[in-house]
Copies of this chain bind each other. A is one copy, B any other.
């Protein structure tokens, strides 16, 4: 049995392999390394030089075409002409901040708020999901007086200081700070249970008790309802309800991070929390909101926003500027006019059915999970449920060589994360299924071990890791 904690996903480029690149890539990489230094992270064992993208396709400098199964930023399709046009037109007309009045930000705010439960009637615009989650933590603290937060073990919620503290997947060496408790992901594959909701709620209750026992007043539970970085745990719908009740009973708030599941991705309504029949106290939005334009936001009840604004001003210069609003409105138009929620539902259902069929043919596929167009394909050592990150890494790089871009998730990096633009079609799913089937079928015997051993010989036992 491999030490799964040591075999990390090898789906990033390692700078020690730079000499293996062709001259042009090597030169670009050298420039990159000089400027970006330690913060430079590139996808794939052999990085891609991208030049353009359109719909579900991306194109590299050699004219190679890739099916993008990775992206929830270009959520309505890369370079969608309606979004591009809206940005170009508004950027040429007016781009200022929300301390002047202008119409489109109000149109946008109202259209977004209409998609929420009535009590969630205030919105604050920010620029990134990180800024949104940072603000959500502050809102929770000011409203509850509690500073203790609960997240899942492999959560990722963003990159500010406060949000990194509740993002254990960002930690390379440190552990969670004293005001944070982690609960296991709602993993019914590796840890089966008859009542996932009760178990998850019990874990949350224990974490609350542990915080309070250590003198930290409980503030809130922050999860993305699709548990993206934990490895995609979507079912059964509704399993979050009991945990949310537990949070409320303890005087805390439930923050729904919709950066991953939001904007129709789950195929059942606009927001991930809808699948669970719950009403969050705070909702945070990010990536897909502007299809690549940096716009994000926080939605909450007025009394929660009031509690922060009584003591501290909040202003975000770029947040909700007219170009952000134009991009955001165009995204809502496209979701509606192109029926993307319905598409996510239909294509997602078809895709999962085909993947289940594939699972029957390849014993390495341990589990298929997901909702709409967010699907996890978990790889285990055949005949067990032991995580198999080496296979996931092999596949990520092999699929890329055959024109498919995909990443991995989960504590072990052994879950392929299927998260394409929402305009993904059945024939795109077919191409993915055929290619994955071929890669699994044609894989040289022992190649997983080979990849792993090569990397270990080259770089030592702890390979590089990328969070997707």
Binding site for B on A (CB under 8 A): 12, 25, 28-29, 31-32, 34-39, 41-43, 47-53, 58, 71, 73-74, 78-79, 81, 83-84, 87-88, 91-103, 106, 109-110, 113, 121-124, 127-131, 134-135, 137-138, 159-162, 164, 170-174, 286-287, 291-295, 302, 305-306, 308-318, 321, 323-324, 466-467
* Nearest-CB residue, chain B, relative to A32: B106
Residues of B within 8 A of A310 (CB): 38, 172-173
* Nearest-CB residue, chain B, relative to A109: B35
User: In the complex, A113 Cα to B36 Cα: how many Å?
Assistant: 11
* Nearest-CB residue, chain B, relative to A99: B43
CB distance A41 to B99 under 8 Å? yes
CB distance B41 to A315 under 8 Å? yes
Residues of B within 8 A of A73 (CB): 95-97, 317-318
Q: Least Cβ distance of A177 to chain B in Å?
A: 12
Residues of B within 8 A of A172 (CB): 310-313
CB distance B100 to A43 under 8 Å? yes
Given B51, B94, B171, which contacts A79 in the complex, CB threshold below 8 Å?
B94
CB distance A164 to B95 under 8 Å? no
Residues of B within 8 A of A84 (CB): 88, 91-92
CB distance A50 to B128 under 8 Å? no
* Nearest-CB residue, chain B, relative to A66: B100
CB distance B95 to A74 under 8 Å? yes
User: In the complex, A170 Cα to B323 Cα: how many Å?
Assistant: 26
CB distance A170 to B96 under 8 Å? no
Residues of B within 8 A of A95 (CB): 53, 73-74, 78-79, 291-292
Among A97, A313, A323: residue with most chain B CB under 10 A:
A313
Residues of B within 8 A of A466 (CB): 99
Given B47, B87, B88, B164, which contacts A100 in the complex, CB threshold below 8 Å?
B47
* Nearest-CB residue, chain B, relative to A59: B94
CB distance A53 to B162 under 8 Å? no
CB distance B102 to A315 under 8 Å? no
Given B34, B87, B96, which contacts A87 in the complex, CB threshold below 8 Å?
B87
CB<8 Å pairs between A and B, sample of 21 = A35-B110, A35-B113, A36-B98, A37-B122, A39-B122, A42-B100, A43-B100, A49-B103, A50-B94, A50-B101, A79-B94, A79-B95, A127-B294, A128-B131, A129-B317, A130-B131, A138-B161, A164-B312, A172-B311, A292-B318, A294-B295
CB distance A134 to B113 under 8 Å? no
